[in-house]
Structures are given as structure tokens and as C-alpha cells.
Amino acid sequence: MTQDTATTSSKKLSFIDFRNEVLNDYRIARISRECSLLGRREVLTGKAKFGIFGDGKEVPQLAMAKAFQKGDFRSGYYRDQTFMMAIGELTAQQFFAGLYAHPSLEADPMSAGRQMGGHFATHSLDENGDWKNLTQQYNSSADISPTAGQMPRLLGLAQASKVYRTVKELENNTNFSVKGNEVAWGTIGNASTSEGLFFETINAAGVLQVPMVMNVWDDEYGISVHAKYQTTKESISEILKGFQRDEKNNGYEIIVVNGWDYVQLIDVYNRASKIAREEHVPVLIHVKELTQPQGHSTSGSHERYKNAERLQWERDFDCLAKMRSWILDFELEDESGESLKFVASEAELIAIEKESKKHVSLAKRNAWSSYLNEIKTELAPAITHLTNLANKSANSSFITKLKNDLEAISEPIRKDILIACRKALRYVKDENFAEKTTLQKFIKQQINSGYNLFSTHLTSDTAVAPTNINAVAPTYSSEKNLVDARVVMRDNFDVLLKKYPEVLIFGEDAGFIGDVNQGLEGLQEKFGETRVSDTGIREATILGQGIGMAMRGLRPIAEIQYLDYLLYALQIMSDDLATLRYRTVGKQKAPLIIRTRGHRLEGIWHSGSPMGGIINNLRGIHVLVPRNMTKAAGFYNTLLEGDDPALVIECLNGYRLKEELPTNLGAFKTPIGEVETIKEGTDITVVSYGSTLRIVEEAAIDLLQVGINIEIVDAQSLLPFDLNHDTVKSVAKTNRLLIVDEDVPGGASAYLLQEILENQNGYQHLDSKPYTLTAKPHRPAYGTDGDYFSKPSVEDVFEAAYQIMNEAAPTNFKSLY
């Protein structure tokens, strides 16, 4: 073979490779499209509840998948099924399992039916809850439904690469990064860019210069609302032009491309990947001219809001139709004048289309029968138990009817089975025979299995779950070393930063000045700007930085300057962080620590203690309310050994109080889910937490003078609260209960009441009506008098306790008023 022919044949070979890749892409896109088409039918015929699909967005996702590398992360939304298929993380059968909400991770690896279809995820954790090697796999953080909710976390996923590239001590953490070469890819719909979270993320990523590629899938609509109501100038790339980098300033690379142009898209995605990966410069790709062939979701039809012209345009510019024509028309002449084509005739494409249809139809049937068969194995024993019950019972005919009705359901669900069995049990409530016991056992087993399917993994259940980390008491030197409490915090963080190279602390004023209360004083100088850093004023994305970095093996401590401003971040904490472990059935985690300070200052936005709102929105996150800095530092020490997220609220008025400096900094640990009795007493159990405890302690001294001896219990951990049920032991002794906090009436105090009276059966021990003493329902007014009349004072606590005793023993404790 001469040199020339060798070159020609290798060129030919590379053309064949290229051709195969193109046709394979077309096949993936066709399969994805068929899934969307059949998926919609499954919803309209009632087999699935709701469908939201990726039709009309296939082609750019093929291009993104080509640029996406192992170790990279996606943080996107419900249109991305084609991308997930192209990286090999979603099959057609899994797509349908998700649509049917099949509650099994094998069938639906995205969420085992916990999330509606179209919410994608990969597994970062193995069966023991330990990290897998994320650099050896494609990664998708688990989607959430709130529009733009994927943005804050995207920032952190991208920032992690920067941290791994910068911090030398992390070089060996090879499960998470190879020299910070990973890109975080965001996807968002054009209309969702109207959300504040999008703009906040864009700005922050530009400041931080992180390897983030933000993809906007633009189909001109957000459900029925046109771009003219969504975006100034109807173009996100147009209005973000000021972010474009230039010779003088860092910024973004902004690229605009049409979503139906396969060749351009591949080029654009290669370029974007290189810029982000190598230079750590964020890229915005505005992918225009996309369509929605079936409309937004199965909940409506787009003919209601798109005119005939637009609908025709969508047919003409359907990216898959455009790709098809491009394949058909493609022709190249090689050096010998031979024509190179992808397909000899249209028949080849028709064959791919037919084959894709068949593939999807089979996948759909398999997914359905797998879903149904699992239920049928639960149905069979139910029918047997009901038959046996009917044979024995005096109410035979009623039970037989329940059984027959159940059998008549052609595609029963678990709910149908349990309804029949639980109703049948009522018919035999006055009878007694073995078959009844069998049915009772079966019902309990079904309820238990429902718990396992739908209620596990709210928090960690691994060996290093924070609640499994044992307490270690602080130790002290023989000479009493009293310091300002903020020094305890600072010196403890110093030890932690040394001990854990993966720990980073960041927030407003957290870097250069070492936080507003100097709990981080001097630590930026010591550990560098990457590990102790200032951020912009943007609470939601501070949280997002933390979530994303925690998902990539770092141990971020995100600081929200004051508790009152946590509300800016509360949405993302609630929707994303608190649900992460649950929604992935334990396959992803973000053990982020959120540090903030609150309580007992003055003013509407500087002293709130909105604990009821917080604990009710944050199930899935540990909520800790230490009464002093030693307790708080102990919580950080505990949490860093654990694998769950937590919020620690330090007492804003506690930094200048004196505390003794422990000698075992970084090692003493405050237990999570345990209360502490800080004063023993006999008459009333007073439960409180945080700064209010100091008021209760003062009142206790006054109360002793009138012969009332209260026992004070520090809740310290609201989520979870008192796992050992120690509070009820105190109530059993005093027979009286008063809960004090500075939340609104019916807030966290009502939660504590429910925990103690109902969960711990405290009601059995009460000789007096249980009371809560809280702040007023309004935000606290400013100034000393404003505070006095807004929040519980020492006098209020005294009188509340006194009144309880007055009611119990009026002759001993005469009425004050």
C-alpha cells in the first residue's frame, strides 16, 4: 500500500466514524422523541399522572453530551432527557419507570418514583452511603421543580473545581477532581431566567470565575407566556452583554447559537468546554430557535396560545426535522472525486426511525409490566387473606364484596390493596380467629413497606449520621482561662481548618475582617483566600455555593450573616438542600454546614427568631440552637464528623460574654438530638433554647425567692429534638411544663409542646395546663422598650411560672394581679 492510499483510506475510515456518530446521535434523539410522544399518551390514557418532556430540545443536548466529560456535573431541569440518554445514564425503560413512579431504584434510578418524571440524577453514593469515585462517572445533581432552583447549586458545583485546583492539600482527593478540570453544566429554560436566582448566579459566577457553562434552552415561551413578558429585549444574551469578558476585565464568554444547527452546536460546545475547563472562565450559551412540538406538558395544549404561524414555524424548525434534512442532504467529495454521504437513501433513516419506535414501545411495555408485576405480588396474598377472612367471618358477604371489588381493578395500586384490607379489618373487629391476625400482620407489613418505599432517607442513616456521633466534653486547664466567647469560636475554627483541608468558610465579611463578630479573626491570613473568603451580598447563592461544593466532597461552612436574612436562602435550603437525600433515596448528599447568628437584638429585621418557619421548612436539615459559643463550636466539631447538612444558630449577644477556653479545641463535641438540664428543680420544667435561656436563668433566681424551684432544660437541638426523651422524665418529676422562646405564638414552642406532650407522652404527667411563653405575633420593635414589650422578659418568665403555681396552689401563691 502506498502512502497515499493509506491516507485516503484512513480519511475514509474517519468519515465512516463520523457518519456512525451522526447516525447514532440521530438514533438517540429519535428514541428520546418517541419517549416524549408515547409518554404523553401514557398520561392521557391515565397510566401516568403527569408528563413533561424534552421534545424539541434534542439536538443541542446531543452536542452538550459530546463535550461533557467524566467528573463533570450537570445541574439542570426537566427538558434534559436526551442529554441523559446520550451520556448513557437514562434508558427508555427507565424513562417510563419514572413516568409511572415505579418505587424502585433499579427501575427508576433517578428517584425511585419519589420525583415526577423528567427530574434527573446520577448516583454519587454507594450502597453504604459512601462516596463513589465521581471522576470516573458522568454526574448529574438531582433536579428540583422550582424554576431556576438548580442555579445556586450549579455555582457551587463549578466552584469546587476551582477549590480543587487551588488548594494544594486537596491534591489527593482524587475521587472528586483531577486538578480542577471538571466543568459544571447548567441548563435552564428561557423564561426561568426571569428568576432572581438566575441573575444572582450569573453575577456570582462572573465574580468567582468558575468553570460553569450555563445553557439557556430558548423556545420563546414559559408555558403560555411569551418572551416579551419575560425578558427585556426578548433576549437573555442581549441583555447579559455587559458580562462579556474583554482584554481588561474578567467576565463571561457569551455564545449564541440556533438549537437546530447540529454542526454549529458541536463546535460551540467544544469551544465552551475548552474555555471553561482550561481557563476557568464561565460561559453562557444562548440556544435559540427551539420548539415544543407537544406543548409545555401534559396539562394543556399549546394551540391555545400559539398562533398558526408560530405552530407552522415550530414544525419547520423542529430541531430533529432539521437534523434529518441535514443528514439526507449531506454530501462531500473526497480527493478521488468519490461522493461521501451519510445515507444512501431516506430508507436508511426511515429504518432508524422505525427501529427507535419499536425500541421505545417495547421499553414502555417492559417498564409497565415490571411496575405492575411488583404490585401483583402484593395483591395475591391480599386476596388470599381476604378470602380466608370471609370464610371465617360472620360478615362474610361484606368482606367478599371488598375482595371482589379489589380483584376487579384491572391495574391496581398499593393504595387499593390497603384500602380493601383495612376496611375488611373493621368487619372483624368483634371476632377472633387466626385469619384476622394474619390480615393484621399483612396490613402492618404493607404500611411498613410503604414507609421503606416512600419515607426513608430524610436524613442520613449511616454509621456517621450526626446523631451517631458521641459527645465529647470540653476539657479545661487548671487555671481558669476566661476569654471573650468569640475567641472560643475563632480558636476552634483555626483547629478545624488545620485538621480538615476540605473545610472552607465563606460569607459576607467572613474573609478579610474575620466575620462581623470576629469569630474568624486572622484566619484568612493564615489559611488563604480560597478557604476563608468574603462573598457578595447574595444569601441564596452563598447557600448554593455550599450545596454544590458539599456535593463534590468538600466540607463548606456557609455563613449567613444574621438569622433574619436566612429567609433569602430559605427557599433553596428547603427545596434543594433539605430534600436532596430524600429525593435521591440516599444516592446524593450535601453535608453543608450553615452558620448564622440570631436572637435577642432589637428591631424588626435584627432580632427575629423565626424558628417555627425554619424548622417546618427544613425537615431534612439538622437545626441546632446552642446557648453559648462552646456549645456551638462543639456542634461544628460533631457535624464535620457526620454526613448531613445542618444549620447552627449562634447567639448574637453571646460573643462578648466570657467563656472558659477549652483545651481540646476541635475535639470536644456537642451531641445532636440531646437536651441538657442546666438547672435542676422540682416545681416546673421550663424548656427553652438559645439566648432566651439566660433570661430564664435570671427568672429562676427570682422565683427561688418566692419558693418556686424550676428545672431548666436546654433543648439545644430542635431538629432532631431529644431523641432520648429526657424532657418527659423532667415533666414526670415536676408535673408542670412551661416552654419559653422568642418566636411568634404557635411557632417553635408549639413544636416543642407537640414533641413533649404527644411524642413523649408528657400529657400523662401533667397536673397543670401546659403553657408557652413567646414573643408577640409582630416582629420585635426597636429599642429597649420595644424589646421589652415585644419579647419575653425576666418578669414575663417569672409571672408565667408564678401563675402556673398560683393555679395549682392558690393559697401558697397568692394571685399577683
Ligand X SMILES: Cc1ncc(C[n+]2csc(CCOP(=O)(O)OP(=O)(O)O)c2C)c(N)n1
Catalytic residues: 606
Q: Which of residues 583-602 bind Mg ion (CB under 5 A)?
A: none
User: Which residues are 772's β-sheet partners?
Assistant: 739
What residue 223 binds from ligand X, Mg ion, none (CB within 5 to 8 A, per partner kind)?
A: ligand X
Stretch that binds ligand X, among 183-191, 301-309, 437-445, 669-677 (CB under 6 A): 183-191
| Cβ closest to ligand X, residue 544 vs residue 671 | 544
| Out of 68, 120, 217, 751, the residue judged to bind ligand X by CB under 6 A | 217
Residue 146 or 450: the one with the smaller Cβ distance to ligand X is 146
Q: Looking at residue 793, what DSSP letter applies? A: -
Part of the chain binding ligand X (CB under 6 A), chosen from 139-147, 343-351, 537-545, 613-621? 139-147
418 binds, among ligand X, Mg ion, none (CB under 5 to 8 A by kind): none
Query: 490-502 burial string, b = 16+ CB within 10 Å, else e?
Result: bbbbbebbeeebb
For the bound state, the minimum distance from the C-beta of residue 259 to ligand X, rounded and expressed in Å, comes to: 11
CA 685 to chain centre: 37
User: How many residues form the binding site for Mg ion (CB under 5 A)?
Assistant: 5
Residue number, 191 or 504, with CB nearest to Mg ion:
191
Torsion on CA atoms 754, 756, 762, 767, rounded to nearest 10: -80
- Tell me which of 30, 40, 277, 296 binds ligand X, using CB under 6 A: 296
Residue closest to 523 by CA, chosen among 481, 486, 548, 476? 486
Pair 311, 336: CB distance under 8 Å: no
Pick the stretch among 93-101, 188-196, 633-641, 772-780 that binds Mg ion (CB under 5 A): 188-196
| One of 33, 74, 79, 322 touching ligand X (CB under 6 A) | 79
Task: Report the C-alpha gap between 55 and 70 in whole angstroms.
Answer: 26
Tell me which residues in 192-211 interact with ligand X (CB under 6 A). 192
Cell numbers linked to 646 = 445542618
User: Which entry of Mg ion, ligand X, none binds 613, CB below 5 to 8 A by partner kind?
Assistant: none
Q: Where does this chain touch ligand X (CB under 6 A) — which range of 13-21, 155-163, 190-198, 664-672?
A: 190-198
What character string, x for contact with Mg ion (CB under 5 A) and - otherwise, covers 197-236? Answer: ----------------------x-x---------------
Q: Return the number of the residue (176 or 221) whose C-beta is nearest Mg ion.
A: 221
Taking CB under 6 A as the binding criterion, the range among 221-229, 332-340, 341-349, 514-522 that sits at the site for ligand X is: 221-229
Q: Which is nearer to Mg ion, 53 or 221 (CB)?
A: 221
Using CA atoms, how far apart are residues 797 and 684, in angstroms rounded to an integer?
12
Q: How far apart are CA 492 and CA 637, in angstroms?
A: 8
- Scanning 187-195, 235-243, 490-498, 501-509 for contacts with ligand X by CB under 6 A, the matching segment is 187-195
**339 vs 7: CA distance, rounded Å:** 17
Nearer to ligand X, 577 or 718 (CB): 577
Q: Is 678 left (phi over 0), alpha (psi -120 to 50) or beta?
A: alpha
Q: Residue 268 corresponds to which amino acid?
A: V
194 touches Mg ion by CB under 5 A: no
Out of 161, 190, 541, 607, which residue is the one contacting Mg ion (CB under 5 A)? Answer: 190
From 218-226, 440-448, 617-625, 784-792, give the range in contact with ligand X by CB under 6 A: 218-226
Q: How far apart are CA 250 and CA 73, in angstroms?
A: 23
- Residue 229 or residue 512: which is nearer to ligand X going by CB? 229
Instruction: End-to-end CA distance of the chain: give it in Å, rounded.
Output: 112
Q: DSSP characters for 454-514? A: HT--SS--STT-GGGSPPB-----SS--EEEHHHHHHHHHHHHHHH-TTEEEEETTSSTT-
How far apart, in Å, are the Cα atoms of 623 and each of 595, 646, 647?
11, 6, 5
Residue 189 binds Mg ion, judged by CB under 5 A: yes
**In whole angstroms, how close is the CB of 501 to ligand X at the nearest point?**
37
Task: Return the residue matching grid coordinates 390493596.
Answer: 417
Give the separation between CA 537 and CA 418, rounded to whole angstroms.
Answer: 51
Decide if residue 145 touches ligand X (CB under 6 A): yes
DSSP string, 96-127: HHHHHT---TTT-TTTTTSS-TT------B-T
The CB-of-148 to ligand X minimum distance in angstroms stands at 7
How far is 501 from 555, CA to CA, in rounded Å? Answer: 9
Spatial contact of 170 and 616, defined as CB atoms under 8 Å apart: no
Select the span of 142-150, 152-160, 383-391, 767-775 touching ligand X (CB under 6 A): 142-150
**Which amino acid is residue 486, in one-letter code?**
R
**Nearest one of 701, 698, 676, 672 to 687, comparing CA atoms:** 676
Strand partners, 755: none
Of 30, 53, 93, 85, the C-alpha closest to 361 is 93
The partner in contact with residue 146, picked from Mg ion, ligand X, none with C-beta cut-offs of 5 to 8 angstroms by kind, is ligand X
Which residues partner with 688 through β-bridges? 714
Q: Taking the complex as a whole, how short is the minimal distance between the CB of residue 156 and ligand X, in angstroms?
A: 20
Query: Which amino acid belongs to residue 511?
Result: G
CB 690 within 8 A of CB 730: no
Site string for ligand X, 240-279 (x = CB under 6 A): ----------------------------------------
Q: Is 120 in the site for ligand X (CB under 6 A)?
A: no
CA distances from 285 to 190, 256, 281, 681 (A): 11, 6, 13, 66
Q: What is the DSSP letter of 543?
A: H
Query: Of 140-148, 324-332, 359-367, 714-722, which segment contacts ligand X by CB under 6 A?
Result: 140-148
Of residues 3-32, those binding ligand X (CB under 6 A) = none
Q: Closest distance between Mg ion and the C-beta of residue 236, in Å? A: 11
> Which of 221/568 has CB closer to ligand X?
221
Contact 592, 466 (CB under 8 A): no
- Spatial distance between the Cα atoms of 229 and 240, rounded to a whole number of angstroms: 17
**Residue of the chain from 58, 219, 484, 508 that contacts ligand X (CB under 6 A):** 219
Return the amino acid letter for 57: K
Residue 79, binding choice from Mg ion, ligand X, none, Cβ under 5 to 8 Å by partner class: ligand X
Q: What angle do CA 646, 726, 598 make, to 5 degrees?
A: 35
Q: How many residues bind ligand X (CB under 6 A)?
A: 14
Site for ligand X in 147-176 (CB under 6 A): 147
User: Which residue lies nearer to ligand X by CB, 297 or 691?
Assistant: 297
Residue 222 interacting with ligand X (CB under 6 A): yes
Residue closest to ligand X (Cβ): 189
Comparing CB distances to ligand X, the nearer of 217 and 260 is 217
* Closest separation in Å from C-beta 388 to Mg ion: 56
Residue 189 near ligand X by CB under 6 A? yes
Nearer to Mg ion, 290 or 700 (CB): 290
d(CA 151, CA 186): 7
In angstroms, rounded to a whole number, what is the distance separating the alpha carbons of residues 294 and 39? 11
Smaller CB distance to ligand X: residue 54 or 103? 54
231 near ligand X, rule: CB under 6 A:
no
Query: Cell digits for 713?
Result: 432544660
- Compute the distance between CA of residue 682 and CA of residue 708 in angstroms, rounded to an integer: 8
- Give, as ranges, the residues between 419 and 458 that touch Mg ion (CB under 5 A): none
Closest CB 227 distance from Mg ion, rounded Å: 8
CB of 219 to ligand X, least distance (A): 5
Residues that bind Mg ion (CB under 5 A): 189-191, 219, 221
Residues that bind ligand X (CB under 6 A): 79, 145-147, 189-192, 217, 219, 221-223, 296
